[in-house]
Amino acid sequence: MTNIKKPASTSLLEKAHTHMPLGVADSYRYWGEDNTVFVKSMKGCQISDSDDQVFVDFRLAYGPIILGYRDNRVDEQVIRCISERGTISGFSTDLDSEVVSLIKSLCPNIEKMRFANSGTEAVIGAVRTARGFTGRNKVVVVEGGFHGLYDEMMWKSDVDNWDSNTQEKPEIIPFGAGIPESTREHQESVPLNDFAAIDDVFARLGDDIAAIVIEPIMGNCGSIAATQEYMQKLRDICDQHGAMLIMDEVKTGFRVAKGGVQELYGIKADLTTYAKAMGNGYPVAAFGGRGDVMDKISFDKGGVTHGGTYTANMIALSAAKATLTVLKETDALATINKVGADIQQVLSRVFDKFGIEHRFAGPDSMFGVHFGNEVPQNYRDWKKTDSELYTRFAFNLIANGVMLEPDSREPWFICEAHKDMDLNWLEEVANKAMEQALKD
Ligand code: PMP
């Protein structure tokens, strides 16, 4: 495998090892001693590493960058807000309602909202509100989905070690140590697009289920998408059983369409979580939905608690206001979709040249690339794709100036600033990377 790390990042990682576990601030940033990336600066669709190598970036910080790094339309508003008004006071501001109104104008399913500082916090808020409203505890999640780093959501189906001949289902295992077994108690997991599995879980637990939590387009599993019929099935079964349908739009919100996946499917969630693209890289998140459900957040007896020192801070909300205004008033998303479609064509030509069967999944603004002859329908199907070839291909792209996550479960993210990139250059690099990957 091509090593991508060079002298400056080598010494930064060595130094960082004395200060932080794995030498990184987030475990997923550790790509091994030879490949861990240290970034110096970002602009547009590019990042520069500490060795001054420039990359065209399709990872985009796991999705938040929707317009481009250091977009003046956003940054100027944030800087003005900080210098003229401040950051936090621990009180409400006019920005709170202004941003919610903007979101409501883009996402008509939202009646009331609350803010949070990260996707994880937004999911915690939505799940707690759903539980408070229904008076139930069980939550159904989808294999291969991801909903943040908190104990209850840190259980996954062990599809890697699943023997389908001897085991009916994969075992459910924690992400690692430190996650109490008791946090598993209320979670059920089903494969995406499997009607029988969802019928089964509701037949067994029906009236104990507070919510289904789903990424309808799995931003954490190669953008594998729920079918229209499957989403309708979830809507119907939730209605029949009085359960909440929570759509986790942390990655898809304000990206796949102005109104997120709900605009694409025309199916309404009871509660939705947003983060990433809503602030073009500033730390902001939100959850909201049905007014009667959100109004469960109250000081009444039996009310749901929600808040936080940094919630709705003015850095976050001024960034959200500026970003959402651009997304609402310009055709940025149309541009992003066009560039995403063009990039898939480039990649297809390269894969065809080498005779590699491939399928794209998900929307053009965040598409998954899968080596195989069928579009995966769920995580179990993803396991059948040649993800090892993808990882080799990805590392060779990175070595040649195209940044992406070397794991095909992470989609290619497109931002508006990609519109100026040179597609011929991309094709050349992709050719070289695939040629090498087939030899590695
Ligand atoms: N939900 C989804 C769908 C996500 O993709 C993520 C993060 N990748 C989260 C929740 C958690 O968000 P954060 O990292 O901001 O806590």
**How far is C-alpha 373 from the geometric centre of its chain's CA atoms?**
25
pLDDT digits (tens, 9 = 90+) for 254-264: 999 999 999 99
Give percent above pLDDT 70 in the chain.
99
Ligand 1 pocket test: pick from 117, 118, 250, 311 the residue with the most ligand atoms within 8 Å of its Cβ: 250
> In this structure, which residue's CA is closest to atom 1 in ligand 1?
147
Look at residues 24, 265, 272 and name the one whose alpha carbon lies nearest to residue 126. Answer: 272
Report the amino acid identity of residue 419.
K
Which band of pLDDT confidence, cut at 50, 70 and 90, is reported for residue 1? low
What CA–CA distance (Å, rounded) separates 92 from 212?
Answer: 32
Residues of the chain with CATH 3.90.1150.10: 7-70+331-439
d(CA 198, CA 202): 6
Look at residue 150 and give its three-state secondary structure: coil
Q: At what angle do helices 423-439 and 332-353 cross, to 10 degrees?
A: 40
Average pLDDT over residues 183-206: 96
ipTM metric: 0.99
pLDDT at 440: 86
Amino acid identity, residue 209? I
Instruction: Please tell me the predicted confidence (pLDDT) of residue 3.
Output: 67
Mutational test site, ligand 1, from 143, 146, 276, 409, max ligand atoms within 8 Å of CB: 146
Atom of ligand 1 nearest to the CA of 273: 1
Q: What is the Cα–Cα distance from 132 to 125, expressed in whole angstroms? A: 10
- What whole-number distance in Å separates Cα of residue 440 and Cα of residue 295? 57
**CATH 3.40.640.10 residue ranges for the chain:** 72-329
Residue 73 near residue 67, CB atoms below 8 Å: yes
pLDDT of residue 6: 78
Atom of ligand 1 nearest to the CA of 220: 5
Residues facing 260 on adjacent strands: none
Q: Which two tokens stand for residue 155?
A: 């259980």
For residue 213, pLDDT over 90 is answered with yes
Q: What average pLDDT does range 362-380 have in this prediction?
A: 97
CA distance 148 to 154: 8
Q: Is there a contact between 222 and 409 (Cβ–Cβ < 8 Å)?
A: yes
**Domain 7-70+331-439: CATH superfamily, name plus number:** Aspartate Aminotransferase, domain 1 (3.90.1150.10)
Can you tell me which atom of ligand 1 is nearest the CA of 275? 15
**Residue 249 Cα distances to 119, 262, 288, 374, angstroms:** 9, 9, 11, 25
E-only strand ranges, 222-330: 224-225, 244-249, 271-274, 285-289
Task: Taking residues 55-59, report their average pLDDT.
Answer: 98
pTM attached to this predicted model: 0.97
For residue 92, give both structure tokens. Answer: 């409400």
| pLDDT band (50, 70, 90) for residue 75 | very high
- Give the tokens for residue 144: 């291969």
Contact 379, 143 (CB under 8 A): yes
Place of tokens 């390269």: 350
Structure tokens at 305: 């608690």
Which tokens in the block code for residue 95? 């920005």
pLDDT at site 320? 98
Ligand 1 atom nearest the C-alpha of 153 is 10
Q: Which of 167-171, 179-183, 296-300 has the lowest mean pLDDT?
A: 167-171
Dump pLDDT digits (tens) for 101-151. Answer: 999 999 999 999 999 999 999 999 999 999 999 999 999 999 999 999 999
Residue to mutate (ligand 1; options 59, 120, 156; most atoms within 8 A of CB): 120
For ligand 1, residues with CB inside 6 Å are 62, 118-120, 123, 146-148, 215, 219-220, 248, 250-251, 275
**Cα 421 from Cα 210, distance rounded (Å):** 46
Residue 264's Cβ-count burial label (10 Å; 0-12, 13-18, 19+) is middle
2 pLDDT band (50/70/90 cuts)? low
pLDDT digit string (tens) for 215-260? Answer: 999 999 999 999 999 999 999 999 999 999 999 999 999 999 999 9
For CA atoms 192, 194, 197, 201, the dihedral sign is positive
Identify the CA nearest to 113 among candidates 269, 9, 226, 336: 269
CATH classification code of 72-329 = 3.40.640.10
pLDDT at 33 over 80: yes
117: left (phi over 0), alpha (psi -120 to 50) or beta: alpha
pLDDT band at residue 154, thresholds of 50, 70 and 90?
Answer: very high
CB 323 within 8 A of CB 415: no
| C-alpha span between 297 and 288 (Å, rounded) | 11
- Ligand 1 centroid from CA 260, angstroms: 15
Question: Coil, strand, or helix at residue 266?
Answer: coil
**For range 371-397, the mean pLDDT:** 96
Going by CA atoms, what residue is nearest to atom 10 of ligand 1?
147
CB distance 120 to 311 below 8 Å = no
Q: Is the dihedral of CA 50, 436, 56, 357 positive or negative?
A: negative
